[in-house]
Amino acid sequence: MNASKQTLCDKAYAILEDLIVSRKLEPGSKVTEEQLSKRIGIGRTPIREALQLLARDGVVEIRPRSASVILDMTIERKRQLLEARGAIQEQTVRYACRRADVDQRTKMLLLARAVEDAGAIGDIELYLRISRDIHNILCEAARNEFLSRFMHSLYTLSRQFAYTHLMAGEGDMQRFAASHSGILRAVAALDEEAAVAASETMMRFMQEFVDQMQDDDGVAAVDQLGRAGRTG
């Protein structure tokens, strides 16, 4: 019974995560266990457990005796996310280089090619599905359950904001894909320093992306103030 419930919870979590990442459940929207149960065809108990996991990951906020709220990724949250992810991801790839077995390294090379292909054809949803597999194999290879827990939460949030901006045409998808591929190929080669360098390159790229978003928001705010002044 417990194993069955856990399997349903995992399934509910994966479906809800995809709905949130792809914005089929919009940031700020309120959802109930009953609504979600009807939408994805899974009972309320696994839905409740999945929402608790998503709340732990910082994706939803559970309000007692009320609906759960899908949280938005503000600029400040994105900055904090990158600060945390940069440090933890470095340790993850270091341990993966030291501990990955042959099967895991082979899978990494296959995923490197797959993510490059997804980037080349511009398939955003395929890219994000592959990126989840990439995150999973790196955490699995690192063989540290605590790092894996932290990284899983950070990766879910990363996928959420990446989808939003890639769909809006605001990100270089091939560059995103190449950064993933660089990490995978370095870890598969057991080249720890190259893997760390590739991880740092990815984080710099993501930081540049967030900085540009903030600059754009600042310009928009100034324009809005200017229009208000002219009409005031």
φ/ψ bin of 169: left (φ > 0), alpha (ψ from -120 to 50), beta (otherwise): left
pLDDT at res. 212: 79
pLDDT tens readout for residues 33-54: 999 999 999 999 999 999 999 9
φ/ψ bin of 58: left (φ > 0), alpha (ψ from -120 to 50), beta (otherwise): left
pLDDT at res. 224: 44
pLDDT at res. 171: 63
Structural domain boundaries in the chain: 2-70, 75-215
Average pLDDT over residues 7-26: 91
- pLDDT, mean over the chain: 87
Fold classified for 75-215: Four Helix Bundle (Hemerythrin (Met), subunit A) (1.20.120)
pLDDT tens readout for residues 81-114: 999 999 999 999 999 999 999 999 999 999 999 9
pLDDT at res. 3: 46
Q: What percent of the chain stands above pLDDT 70?
A: 88
Rounded Cα distance between 169 and 138, Å, is 28
pLDDT at res. 70: 94
pTM of the model: 0.80
CATH number of 2-70: 1.10.10.10
